[in-house]
């Protein structure tokens, strides 16, 4: 992205939603610092509060899924209802606010087997 648009034209967003994996935000900060691009972390922790009883992705009562859980049930307990849809909507709003005309998502492709909102046909 920085080669195509120039690092001064790349604005990275990360979202804090009380996820169990704090490493996501740490790595986003490290990567954007190394690349020299603007980085904003948006606090949407209310999503974690909403989903703490249904998703193991956030800090709460649901234990993290194992590989066996995923194989047996299809959609793991770490699925968080409409998370990517909500985050993309916030990214689109931010893009409009700063006057940009493109959004690029960093969604883990290997999760599309069980997370419907990672499917390229949905977004």
pLDDT tens, 36-76? 999 999 999 888 888 777 677 777 777 776 766 666 566 67
Of 84, 106, 88, the residue nearest 96 (C-alpha): 88
Q: Burial level of 80, CB count in 10 A (0-12/13-18/19+)?
A: buried
Query: What pLDDT does residue 123 have?
Result: 45
Does the predicted TM-score (pTM) go above 0.75? no
Which helix (H) or strand (E) element contains residue 24?
helix 23-35
Query: What pLDDT does residue 11 have?
Result: 94
């Amino acid at each position: 992205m920085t080669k195509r648009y120039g690092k001064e034209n790349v604005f990275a967003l990360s979202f804090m939603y009380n996820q169990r994996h704090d490493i996501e935000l740490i790595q986003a900060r490290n990567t954007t610092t190394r690349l020299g691009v603007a980085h904003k972390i948006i606090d949407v922790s209310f999503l974690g509060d909403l989903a703490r009883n249904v998703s193991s992705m956030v800090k709460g009562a649901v234990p993290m899924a194992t590989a066996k859980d995923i194989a047996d049930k299809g959609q793991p307990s770490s699925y968080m209802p409409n998370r990517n849809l909500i985050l993309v909507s916030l990214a689109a709003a931010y893009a409009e606010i700063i006057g940009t005309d493109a959004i690029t998502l960093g969604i883990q492709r290997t999760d599309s087997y069980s997370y419907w909102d990672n499917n390229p046909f949905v977004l």
